[in-house]
A and B are shown apart, each in its own frame.
Chain A
Amino acid sequence: MDFAPIVLSLKIAGVATVFSFLLGNLFAYIINKKNIPGKNIWETVLIMPMILPPSVMGYLLLIVFGKRGPIGAFLLERFGVQVVFTWVGAVIAACVVSLPLMYQNVKAAFLSTDPIYEQAAMTLGSGEWRIFRTVTFPLAQPGVISGVVLTFARALGEFGATLMIAGNIPGKTQTVPTAIYFAVEAGRTETANALVLIMTVFSFALILGLNAWLKKKNFYR
Chain B
Amino acid sequence: MRKKIDFHIIKKLDLFTLNVRCGFDSGVLVVRGESGAGKTTLLNCIAGLCAPDEGFVSIGGETVFLRNAREARIDRPVRARGLGYLFQSYALFPNMTVEQNVLYGLRNKPDYRDRARRKDLLEYADYIMETFGISGLRKKRPGVISGGEKQRVALSRAIVTKPGLLLLDEPFSALDEETKAVVYGEFKLFKERFRIPTILITHNDAECEMFGDHRMHIKAGAVV
Contact = CB atoms under 8 A, between A and B. Distances in A.
Interface of A: 114, 116-117, 119-127, 130, 134-135, 138-139, 141, 220-221
The size bracket of the interface on B is 20 to 34
A219 B224 CA distance: 46
B143 interface: yes
Given A119-B87, A122-B77, A125-B105, 17 more contacts: A116-B87, A117-B91, A117-B94, A119-B78, A119-B91, A120-B92, A122-B48, A122-B78, A123-B49, A123-B78, A124-B108, A125-B109, A126-B104, A126-B108, A141-B95, A220-B141, A221-B94
Given A130-B108, A220-B143, A125 B79 contact: yes
Nearest to B157: A124
Contacts of B95: 135, 138-139, 141, 220
B151 interface: no
B47 to A, nearest CB: 6
A125 B79 CA distance: 4
A21 B87 CA distance: 33
B132 interface: no
A117 B93 contact: yes
B71 to A, nearest CB: 25
14 contacts: A122-B49, A122-B77, A123-B79, A123-B81, A123-B158, A124-B104, A124-B105, A124-B108, A126-B108, A130-B108, A134-B104, A135-B93, A139-B93, A220-B141
Main SS of chain A's interface residues?
Answer: helix
A221 B143 CA distance: 5
Contacts of B89: 116
Contacts of A138: 95
B167 to A, nearest CB: 8
